[in-house]
Amino acid sequence: MKRYGRVRSMSEEVDWDSLTFSLTPTDTMYLTETTATEPWMPGSLRPYGAIPMSPAAGVLNYGQGLFEGMKAFRTSKDRVVFFRPEENARRMQRGADRLKMPPVPESIFIDAVEQCVQANIKWVPPTGRGALYVRPLLMGSGPVLGVAPAPSYTYLVYVTPVGPYFKGGVSAIDLLISEDYHRAAPGGSGGVKAIGNYAPGMMPSKKAKAAGFAEVIYLDAETHNYIEEVGAANFFCVKDNTLYTPELTGTILPGITRQSIIELARHNGYDVVETKVSAEFAMGADEAFCCGTAAVISPIGSITKGGEKAVYGDGKPGPITEQLYSHLVGIQNETEEDLFGWLHEIPL
Ligand code: PLP
Ligand code: COI
C-alpha cells in the first residue's frame, strides 16, 4: 500500500474558499468485487474513472445499491481524521441485509476508505475550509433479468473535496413542508441508504427550490402530521431549552450526525426527546436545524406549510443551534476535545 510522509502538498488546482457540495474528480478510487457466495476480499486502488458494467446489472435495472457519505477532516493538530467511520460501516451492513447484498466486513470498509483518503491526500482541504467527502458504494453489478439479487457485487469508494451543502454556507435556510410527496413508507427502505430513496425526492426538491426554498421537509406517509426528514438530513427543533427530534421508526435514516448531536446536547446539559414531532409543534418551536454529514448543522430560518410560515428568531441561527454547531465542528477540527472518542486518525 502506498503511504505518504508527514509533509504533504495540497492541490493547487482547487480554490478552497469557493468549494461547494459538488463533484471535483480526484486521482484515485478503490474497488473490490465478490460473488453472492464468496467472501469479500480486500480490493485495490486504481485511477478514478468509469467502470465497465453489464447493461443487465442489478443496480442499473432494479436499484440494488447503497451508498454512504463520510468526511475526512484535516485538523488543527495536522492530522487527517474520520468522524465515527465504524458507524457508516455498520449502517451499510444493515442496508446490505435489507437489499439482499453481501455485507462488506467492517475491516474491509474501513481499510478502503482509509486507503482512498491516503491516495488522495492532496485533495483534503485545509483545516476549517471544507472536507474530503468520501463516498462508498455497494451495488449489485452482475447481470440479472428476473427481479432477484445480482450474482456479483462491487464495493467502490471515491472521494471529492467539498464545502457547504446548502447555498449561502451556514446562513439559515428556508424550508417547505411537502404536502404532496413522501420520502418513505412503513416497511420500505427509508431506514437505509438505498440509492433508490433519492431520485423520487428530486422533483419535489426542484419544485421547492424554484419557489425559493432550500429544500423540502417530508412528513410521515401514514398520518401526514409528523416530520420525518429534511431531504437528505435529519431534523431537530428546540423548545424551552429542550431538543426534539423525530424518533426512528424505520422510515427515517438513522443519521450519525443526529446520534452525535443527541449525545453532545445531553453532555451539555440539555434534555433531548426522541418522539413524534408534529409539523405544528415544530412550527411553534424556538429554534430548528437539520443535520447530516453533508449538511453538518444547518440552521433553519423558516418553515412554510401551505399558506403558513413560521420564522425562527430573526432568521439567524438560534443560540443552542450555534452552540452545538461550534462544539461538533470543534471536535471535527480538533479545536475541542474529542470527549467521546469519535475521531479515527487516518495513518499518513
Ligand atoms: N437522512 C438522509 C436521508 C440522508 O441521506 C442523510 C445523509 O447521510 C442523513 C439523514 C444524515 O445522516 P448522517 O448524519 O449519517 O450523514
Ligand atoms: C450525506 O450527508 O452524506 C448525504 O448522504 C447527503 C446527500 C449528499 C445525499
Whether the pLDDT of residue 315 is over 90: the answer is no
Residue nearest to atom 8 of ligand 2 (CA): 294
Q: Is 89 near ligand 1, meaning CB less than 6 Å away?
A: no
Length of the chain: 348
What is the 339 CA–ligand 1 centroid distance (Å)? 23
Query: Domain check: are 152 and 178 in the same one?
Result: no
Q: Last residue of some domain: 162, 193, 218?
A: 162
Query: Domain check: are 64 and 203 in the same one?
Result: no
Pocket of ligand 1, candidates 162, 261, 293, 328: which has the most ligand atoms within 8 Å of its Cβ, to mutate? 293
What pLDDT was estimated at residue 14?
86
Total count of domains within the chain: 2
What is the 290 CA–ligand 1 centroid distance (Å)? 10
Q: What is the mean pLDDT of residues 134-151?
A: 98
Query: Domain check: are 126 and 22 in the same one?
Result: yes
Whether the pLDDT of residue 3 is over 70: the answer is no
Q: What long-range pairs does 147-153 form, CB within 8 A, spacing at least 24?
A: 147/62, 149/36, 149/58, 149/64, 149/100, 149/101, 150/36, 150/57, 150/58, 150/59, 150/64, 150/101, 151/35, 151/36, 152/33, 152/34, 152/35, 152/36, 153/33, 153/34, 153/35, 153/36, 153/101, 153/102
**Separation of alpha carbons 101 and 87, rounded Å:** 18
Q: What is the mean pLDDT of residues 287-296?
A: 96
Q: What percent of the chain has pLDDT over 70?
A: 96
Query: Domain check: are 207 and 251 in the same one?
Result: yes
Residue 11 lies in a domain: no
User: Which tens digits make up the pLDDT trace of 69-85?
Assistant: 999 999 999 999 999 99
Q: Is 232 near ligand 2, meaning CB less than 6 Å away?
A: yes
**Separation of alpha carbons 117 and 29, rounded Å:** 9
Highest mean pLDDT among 13-22, 170-179, 190-199: 190-199
**Separation of alpha carbons 134 and 117, rounded Å:** 8
**Separation of alpha carbons 332 and 83, rounded Å:** 7
Q: Comparing C-alpha atoms, which of 194, 198, 199 is closest to residue 59?
A: 194
Q: Is 85 near ligand 1, meaning CB less than 6 Å away?
A: no
Whether the pLDDT of residue 6 is over 60: the answer is no
Residue in the block written with cell 422533483 = 203
User: Which tens digits make up the pLDDT trace of 300-309?
Assistant: 999 999 999 9
Query: Domain check: are 132 and 34 in the same one?
Result: yes
Residue 136 lies in a domain: yes
**Among 12-16, 22-26, 117-121, 166-170, which is the least confidently predicted range?**
166-170
Residue 168 confidence class, pLDDT cut points 50, 70, 90: low
Q: Is 69 near ligand 2, meaning CB less than 6 Å away?
A: yes
Number of neighbouring beta carbons within 10 Å of residue 11: 16
Residue 339 lies in a domain: no
Q: What is the mean pLDDT of residues 319-332?
A: 96
Residue 303 lies in a domain: yes
What pLDDT was estimated at residue 171?
83
Q: What is the mean pLDDT of residues 245-258?
A: 97
Q: What percent of the chain has pLDDT over 90?
A: 91
What pLDDT was estimated at residue 208?
97
Give the structural domain span for 24. 16-162
Whether the pLDDT of residue 57 is over 50: the answer is yes
Query: Domain check: are 21 and 157 in the same one?
Result: yes
Residue 7 confidence class, pLDDT cut points 50, 70, 90: very low
Residue 316 lies in a domain: yes
Query: Domain check: are 95 and 123 in the same one?
Result: yes
Query: Domain check: are 117 and 60 in the same one?
Result: yes
Between 59 and 315, residue with greater pLDDT: 59
Whether the pLDDT of residue 292 is over 90: the answer is yes
Whether the pLDDT of residue 123 is over 70: the answer is yes
Query: Domain check: are 53 and 156 in the same one?
Result: yes
What pLDDT was estimated at residue 8?
56
Residue 130 in contact with residue 162, Cβ under 8 Å? Answer: yes
Q: Is 229 near ligand 1, meaning CB less than 6 Å away?
A: yes
| β-bridge partners, 33 | 154
| Catalytic residue chosen out of the listed positions 100, 122, 167, 193 | 193
Residue 298 lies in a domain: yes
What pLDDT was estimated at residue 9?
66
Torsions phi, psi for 25 (to 5 deg) = -60, 135
Query: Domain check: are 93 and 157 in the same one?
Result: yes
What pLDDT was estimated at residue 5?
40
User: Which tens digits make up the pLDDT trace of 194-215?
Assistant: 999 999 999 999 999 999 999 9
Active site residue 305: no
Ligand minimally distant from the alpha carbon of residue 135: 2
**Separation of alpha carbons 64 and 162, rounded Å:** 27
Q: Last residue of some domain: 111, 138, 162?
A: 162
What pLDDT was estimated at residue 164?
81
Residue nearest to atom 11 of ligand 1 (CA): 292
Q: Is 69 near ligand 1, meaning CB less than 6 Å away?
A: yes
Q: Is 215 near ligand 1, meaning CB less than 6 Å away?
A: no
Whether the pLDDT of residue 329 is over 70: the answer is yes
Query: Domain check: are 188 and 242 in the same one?
Result: yes
The C-alpha cell at 187 is 416497511
Q: What is the CATH number of the domain that holds 211?
A: 3.20.10.10
Residue 180 lies in a domain: yes
The pLDDT mean for the chain works out to: 95
Whether the pLDDT of residue 258 is over 70: the answer is yes
Query: Domain check: are 112 and 209 in the same one?
Result: no
Residue nearest to atom 3 of ligand 1 (CA): 232
**Separation of alpha carbons 153 and 171, rounded Å:** 41
Between 169 and 202, residue with greater pLDDT: 202
Whether the pLDDT of residue 242 is over 50: the answer is yes
pTM score: 0.96
Q: Last residue of some domain: 116, 139, 162?
A: 162
Pocket of ligand 2, candidates 20, 71, 158, 165: which has the most ligand atoms within 8 Å of its Cβ, to mutate? 165
Q: What is the CATH number of the domain that holds 79?
A: 3.30.470.10
Instruction: Return the SS3 of 37.
Output: coil
| β-bridge partners, 71 | 133
Q: What is the mean pLDDT of residues 101-110?
A: 98
Residues 6+ apart with CB under 8 A from 146: none
The C-alpha cell at 86 is 465504524
Pocket of ligand 2, candidates 22, 293, 328: which has the most ligand atoms within 8 Å of its Cβ, to mutate? 293
> What does the longest C-alpha to C-alpha distance in the chain come to?
58
**Separation of alpha carbons 4 and 145, rounded Å:** 44
Between 305 and 6, residue with greater pLDDT: 305
Residue 44 lies in a domain: yes
